[in-house]
Copies of this chain bind each other. A is one copy, B any other.
Amino acid sequence: MAEYVRNLWYMAAWEHEVPDGGMLSRRLLDKAWLIHRLDSGDYAMLEDRCPHRFVALSMGSKRGDVIHCRYHGLGFGPDGRCVHSPFPETPPEHVRAATMPVVARHRGLWFWPGDPALADPALIPDFAFLDRDEPLTRGHMTMKGNYELVTDNLMDLTHAEFIHIETFGVNGSLFESGVQAVQQDPDGAIWNKWTMTDARAPDWAKPMLGEGQRVDQKLHMRWHAPASLALLIAMGKAGTDYAEQVIPEMISPHIITPETQDTSHYFYEHEATEQARAMAMQVFVEEDEPMIAAAHDGLAGQDFWDARPAILKTDAGAIRCRRALMQLRRREAGEAA
């Protein structure tokens, strides 16, 4: 399996997932980590394994900013150093739990698995839209499949015409009148923009529209390495430049972080209603995940490129992301060598 790119910000969790006065234990990039909130309001992230006899620190207890191992009582501070020992001797300086830089930003907790000296929070992708003060549900699930296959799925929305027929209701309009554009932002973001002009309206929108009223639509997906995505959608009456809205422009996170090479964390958002939750679960669990898991099973451990995938024009965005990630990977391998 391809190495993880290290000098990047990945999302570990939503802030609200860290329990008050407690710890969140989560497998990230194949290793167990724990996150806890410090008295200062900042967060600390420690490898979830005691450097003494290797049991999970999250089986222990948190007292103030110190995590105490359940097995022999050693206590570790936010920087991973052993700051408490029940033994008469002073614990040696080198007894340290591994740590990673972690920053709370845009309701998420972002970690940097590479060189801490390079961990500039300004490099966290812009998810400022998550800061808006609306009562939305911000959820987390794990999905079977390598995170790059989840990116493929998100960066090529033509699959909506096949597996999201009921939920997205694009009804063929993506193929009829869709125009695809792949663009890159100065910060490295890659956009895959589908725009449908003067298209047939989806069935569910017809009651809101006059008979035969046609629409303009945007389905714009944005990617930041490694796999932090955002989807911007909008629908307006055709020819009004979205002034006469059917769906106002809205943007939602699809932030993916590798749990392992075979499984992915998926961070998403939806309206805080049971109906919206059910819709999200249908899309993610019943429609997307079976395809992503089947692609993962189809590869059966084979490298994506070694499997010589067919590349269609509609894959342009997805492939550009894969190439960008590969360049980052090669650069890090080069620096290491």
Contacts and interface: CB of A to CB of B under 8 A. Distances in A.
A89 B310 contact: no
A312 interface: yes
A186 interface: no
Contacts of A299: 54
A56 interface: yes
B95 A310 contact: yes
Contact of A52 (B49, B87, B161, B309): B309
A59 B310 contact: no
Nearest to A288: B71
Contact of A290 (B53, B59, B152, B161): B59
A150 to B, nearest CB: 12
A330 interface: no
B175 A291 contact: no
Contact of A55 (B70, B298, B313): B298
Nearest to A86: B175
How many chain copies?
3
B56 A89 contact: no
A53 B152 contact: yes
Nearest to A58: B294
Contact of A158 (B72, B152, B156, B161): B72
Interface in A40-83: 49-56, 59, 70-74, 82
A211 to B, nearest CB: 28
A168 interface: no
B73 A161 contact: yes
Contact of A312 (B59, B87, B163, B314): B87
Contacts of A122: none
17 contacts: A51-B310, A52-B309, A53-B291, A54-B294, A54-B298, A54-B307, A56-B297, A59-B294, A70-B162, A71-B159, A71-B162, A72-B158, A74-B310, A82-B310, A85-B312, A88-B175, A94-B310
Given A53-B298, A56-B294, A71-B295, 5 more contacts: A52-B312, A55-B294, A59-B294, A72-B162, A86-B175
